[in-house]
Amino acid sequence: MTTSASVPTEGAISSGGRVTDRLVNANERYAAAFSDPGMDARPVLHVAVVACMDARLDLHAALGLELGDCHTIRNAGGVVTDDVIRSLTISQRKLGTRSIVLIHHTGCGLEAITEEFRTELEMEVGQRPAWAVEAFRDVDQDVRQSMQRVRTSPFLLHTDDVRGFVFDVKTGLLREIDPA
């Protein structure tokens, strides 16, 4: 299997946009063979997946999903923030999703930093970020917290099918987290 990690990236970051140029070129090749699949924005499986942005997680492959099956919402840690609730609310109320799957993973970068990161940023740039880092030490507990945030949100219509998992980046397996 070839991944972008195996493609040479020498000078990609320091050469003023080479990575973006590569992506734009790839899009041109994609668009040349593209045909409208005739889908709308409503996911076929009526599910929204909230996951970490970690590049090691290929959610569609890991979950056996195809284009159009789900809404995918990703952020640092896969934590349920106000913006995730906003996206889930739109997904449910306007686009018909009913189920929510939360996926954190082993070896997450948010386990290695603290909320002190905001102070470090303030010292560096002179302004404190309004957002929380949402760092955590216990990935299972953070999944439970995320499930609780979803289940107690007054904006979400469907909170009876909310399940949380930890993806093992070494084995590719999901481990379900008991919400209790």
Indicate the pTM of the whole model.
0.87
CB contact at 8 A, 80 and 102? yes
Measured from the Cβ of residue 69, the count of other Cβ atoms closer than 10 Å reads: 16
pLDDT of 46 strictly over 90: yes
**pLDDT tens-digit profile of 72-86?**
999 999 999 999 999
Give the mean pLDDT of the chain.
92
pLDDT of 2 strictly over 60: no
Predicted confidence band of residue 6 (pLDDT cuts 50, 70, 90): low
**pLDDT tens-digit profile of 151-171?**
999 999 999 999 999 999 999
